[in-house]
Amino acid sequence: MNVLIVHAHPEPESFTSALKKAAIDVLSAAGHNIEITDLYAQHFNPVASAADFLVPQNAKYLVYALEQRHGLDTGTLSLDIIKEIEKVRRCDLLLLTFPIYWFAAPAILKGWIDRVFVSGAFYGGRRIYEHGGMKGKKALVCATLGGRKAMVCDGGIHGDLEMMLRPLLQGTLGYVGFDVLKPHFSYHVPYVSLQERSVMLDQWRSELTSLEQRPILQMPKIGDFDSTLSRRL
């Protein structure tokens, strides 16, 4: 299996980085091929702009998704975008490792998605969900947060954590066709002991050895909706 790990943490010695390293170690030992995009280390530019298109279709007015399609068709996307698209196309599993900031992924990861998940290749028209461009691939989120588990569940003050990340899990990964595996969360990370961190790392390593059995999140299916994408009665 080809695995692409997209890592979004500015501190190489962080617990999030330790989770990334554990994934590399476990998956490599199992014989999988690993590619890494370390967004902070690579100084990845997260800002979507007209500069992403070397030969724009319309130089006077930017419609980003339309320019993505034109750039993809003509091979005139910015080189950093092309390299990342090729990585995603090669992978069987996309693993995202990041800390949760303000109920969401860090801006640099959102920017990677904005620039790399190009219209025409990843999605377009009714090519979404089970018909999306990434159909047949899997995606797994591995995220850390400072809050306790009791705070981010049904009945907790912030509500369910998977629902909190719905824009990423469904609105991005599921939308473009990935089979989205049940995410892995590490809670209260800045405040736990080294021993507790070790236990959490061991749990993550164990989960990585059984990815084939990991539950897949349920996503909408185009076939359940009519031509206006309203649910069939």
The secondary structure of residue 2, as a DSSP letter, is E
Torsion-angle region of residue 96: left (phi > 0), alpha (psi -120 to 50) or beta?
Answer: beta
- Give the pLDDT score at 233: 67
- Looking at 3.40.50.300, 1.10.287.70, 3.40.50.360, 3.50.50.60, the CATH number of the domain 2-224 comes to 3.40.50.360
Q: Is 147's pLDDT higher than 90?
A: no
Q: How far is CA 184 from the centre of its chain?
A: 13
Confidence of residue 130 (pLDDT cuts 50, 70, 90): very high
Least reliable range by pLDDT among 37-51, 85-99, 142-156:
142-156
Is the four-CA dihedral 130, 132, 138, 142 of positive or negative sign? negative
Please provide the average confidence, as pLDDT, over all residues in the chain: 94
- Give the pLDDT score at 151: 84
Q: Average pLDDT of 106-112? A: 98
Supply the pTM of this predicted model: 0.93
Q: Is 121's pLDDT higher than 70?
A: yes
Q: pLDDT, tens digit, for every residue of 36-82?
A: 999 999 999 999 999 999 999 999 999 999 999 999 999 999 999 99
Q: Where are the beta strands (DSSP E) in the chain?
A: 2-7, 33-38, 93-99, 138-144, 179-180, 184-186
Q: Is 2's pLDDT higher than 80?
A: yes
Higher local confidence (pLDDT), 158 or 178: 178
Q: Which of 211, 192, 11, 190 is nearest to 97 (CA)?
A: 11
- Give the pLDDT score at 159: 84
Decide: residue 51, CB within 10 A, 0-12 exposed, 13-18 middle, 19+ buried.
Answer: exposed
Return the domain boundaries, the chain.
2-224
Q: How many CB atoms lie within 10 A of CB 50?
A: 12
Confidence of residue 117 (pLDDT cuts 50, 70, 90): very high
